[in-house]
Structure 1
Amino acid sequence: MQHGKYRFIVGFLVVPMALYVIFVIWPFIQSIYYSFTDWTGLSPDFKMVGFDNYTKMLDDDIFWKSLQHSVMLAILLPLVTLGLALFFAFMLNVGGRRRKGAAIAGVRGSGFYKIAYFFPQVLSIAIVAILFQFAFDPAQGMINGTLKAVGFDDVPTWLGDPQLALWVVMAVLVWCTTGFFVVLFSAGMASIPKDFYEAALLDGASRFTTFFRITLPLLWDTVQSGWVYMGILALGAEGFAIVHIMSVGPGGPDYSTTVLPLYVYQSAFRDGQAGYATTIGVALLIVTLAFAAIVMRVGRRERLEF
């Protein structure tokens, strides 16, 4: 009977595991292999160059700038996004005034707010980037037009300013990702028994206290997973798409918005250095794995059940 059970399990796992190895693991192995070559990406001919690409990468100022920007996004983007999402979700579920028959309730119109917060998730990331590119246009954009209308003549150039460009990109990423976590955290808060909150309020606890003593500890696993997800998102496709579409260059001005995924793309398809691009990709893989491991280790807590 046991042998039959194992054959049954293996029969279900062999196909998805084979697909995972072919389409996920094997490309990683290929990337590591090509990082030791001078492959241009345009020709099947290449030769092994050992650690030359890695030496070049460590001496590359643009790589270090890109790494700094990517790490900033991976740290600050989850912090701001998850913080806002927790605040909004708490207000939508617990932060309202007492009503007849309900000691715990969200603010009025919470259903509408959830839809409004989630709306950016419906839009493609490319559409979001194009919309905000027009909005931040220094000459004809809505934001500078509004500032001029209320009396500000010395308006910033936003994406043209090396000191502001990365912060603008980060603000757009926060805008388009917060809504997803508002809905996610709202679902988690809805599953927390109302009795917990009512007992705390009867004991004189404030909303602030109930959030840090009840809500956050019981949602911690979800928050931790969201932090890892947001970090990977910032280091991956969404961070690349926003920067590639919105920024000057892209990646400018003066490499002020260049992130690792964009530098991989430019090295491979603009400069014809696919071997060097895969070297940067390996560094990006290491940074992503290290980030996920640190978050899971630092954020590990005893699991609470209710």
Structure 2
Amino acid sequence: MTRRGRWPLIITFLAPGLALYATFVLSSFAQGVQISFTDWTGLTPSFNYVGLSNYIDLVRDSEWWRALGNNVVLLIFVPVVTLGTALFLASMLARGGSGAMRSTPGTAFYRVLFFFPQVVPVVIIGIMFLYVYASQGGLLQSVLAIVGVDLLDVVPNGPLGNPETILFAIALAAVWSSVGFYMVLFLAGMGQVPRELYEAAALDGAGGFRSFFHVTMPLIWSHIQTALVYLGIGTLDSFAMVAVMANTGVAADFGADVMATLLYRTAFTLNSQFGYASAMGTMMMLASVALALVTFRLTRREQIEY
């Protein structure tokens, strides 16, 4: 088939998917951007265009900057801990990732075990950790009681009732829920690395530590790059986990407010300010695109073929 003859076939297959994507995704984005320039409350049939007023108010909004700061903390903590733990677990299960030639016995079982939280809905995980962190009868309190430590003496009001700890308590729940997925992703990448490279590294005197950083990581870097982008965009949202775990009716709730939860409250509880909430959504969309571009740019390396 000639080059000219291929294009009609390619367009025929792409057109339905692109049409659906443009109708249900791109048009929604465009409508949200349009609403961000209005004073629409979401409850009236009419609205007025206010130009950049919503964006100017957003820049002056201290709650928005606090929520943005919480997102930045999560963007640093969750990817670093999640991917670091996933790489460690993957290298332990596929010992070839650290220079050995055989996989750890029971690798298939551990792979399923660690991956299991990924198939559990985020809301269920949030509710489960509410019971883990509960200051009365919670799992964490019961474990500490075994060694004679009272949770409330260590963390006043409990992890979810203290403004200084609530954000990190939620972040640990997010790490637990997603680390298994990235461990399996990295295991798949390590399984594609030729064992001859580890044999050559061992002959040159490289131990497990050097083999991991000089053989394994460069050859699975595309997996790590993809994981950073995927996890970063997911962490930038964090709506479900925060909405469930911080919805306890205490003052510490606002210590964990992120952009997505502030957007929700602005649109549906704070006098239904849909125009202002759409401005927040537009900024979140731009932040997601910028995050993906910056991550790909900072982690870009030459392609290594083997």
Instruction: Give the TM-score, by structure 1 length.
Output: 0.93
Using the TM superposition, give the Cα deviation of residue 96 of structure 1 relative to its aligned residue in structure 2, in angstroms.
Answer: 9.3
Alpha-carbon distance in 1 for matches of 2:262, 2:201: 51
Within a 5 Å distance, the mapping from 1:91-170 to structure 2 comes to: 91-94=92-95, 104-153=101-150, 154-156=153-155, 157-170=158-171
- The equivalent of 1:8 in structure 2 is 9
SS of 1:49 mapped into structure 2: coil
Instruction: Give the TM-score, by structure 2 length.
Output: 0.93
Kindly tell me: are residues 251 and 92 of structure 1, through their superposed partners in 2, closer, same or farther at Cα, counting changes over 3 Å?
farther
Kindly tell me: are residues 93 and 34 of structure 1, through their superposed partners in 2, closer, same or farther at Cα, counting changes over 3 Å?
same
Alpha-carbon distance in 1 for matches of 2:24, 2:149: 53
The alignment of Structure 1 onto Structure 2 pairs a total of residues equal to 300
SS of 2:72 mapped into structure 1: helix
TM-superposition CA deviations, 1:125-171 (whole Å, max 9, x none): 11110000111011121111221232113242100000000000100
Q: 2:91–2:98: 8 Å Cα contact kept in structure 1?
A: no
Within a 5 Å distance, the mapping from 1:1-306 to structure 2 comes to: 2-94=3-95, 104-153=101-150, 154-156=153-155, 157-236=158-237, 239-248=238-247, 253=252, 255-271=254-270, 272-306=272-306
Structure 2 segments unaligned to the other structure (5+ residues): none
Q: 1:267–1:274: 8 Å Cα contact kept in structure 2?
A: yes
Kindly tell me: are residues 128 and 92 of structure 1, through their superposed partners in 2, closer, same or farther at Cα, counting changes over 3 Å?
same
Q: 2:133–2:140: 8 Å Cα contact kept in structure 1?
A: yes
Alpha-carbon distance in 2 for matches of 1:181, 1:56: 39
Using the TM superposition, give the Cα deviation of residue 56 of structure 1 relative to its aligned residue in structure 2, in angstroms.
Answer: 1.1
Alpha-carbon distance in 2 for matches of 1:294, 1:251: 37
Alpha-carbon distance in 1 for matches of 2:249, 2:76: 22
Alpha-carbon distance in 1 for matches of 2:86, 2:144: 28
SS of 1:76 mapped into structure 2: helix
Runs of 4 or more above 3 Å deviation: 1-4, 95-98, 248-252
Alpha-carbon distance in 2 for matches of 1:174, 1:247: 17
Alpha-carbon distance in 1 for matches of 2:93, 2:231: 22
Alpha-carbon distance in 1 for matches of 2:305, 2:97: 26
RMSD between aligned residues: 1.8
SS of 1:158 mapped into structure 2: coil
Which amino acid is 1:286 matched to?
A: L
TM-superposition CA deviations, 1:204-254 (whole Å, max 9, x none): 111000000000000001100100000011112xx1101000114579516
111-120 or 83-92: bigger deviation: 111-120
Structure 1 segments unaligned to the other structure (5+ residues): none
Kindly tell me: are residues 42 and 34 of structure 1, through their superposed partners in 2, closer, same or farther at Cα, counting changes over 3 Å?
same
Alpha-carbon distance in 2 for matches of 1:24, 1:145: 47
Kindly tell me: are residues 273 and 250 of structure 1, through their superposed partners in 2, closer, same or farther at Cα, counting changes over 3 Å?
farther
Kindly tell me: are residues 143 and 13 of structure 1, through their superposed partners in 2, closer, same or farther at Cα, counting changes over 3 Å?
same
Alpha-carbon distance in 1 for matches of 2:253, 2:116: 34
Kindly tell me: are residues 305 and 187 of structure 1, through their superposed partners in 2, closer, same or farther at Cα, counting changes over 3 Å?
same
115-124 or 144-153: bigger deviation: 144-153
TM-superposition CA deviations, 1:85-136 (whole Å, max 9, x none): 11110111126999xxxx5123332222212111111211111100001110
Alpha-carbon distance in 2 for matches of 1:24, 1:252: 36
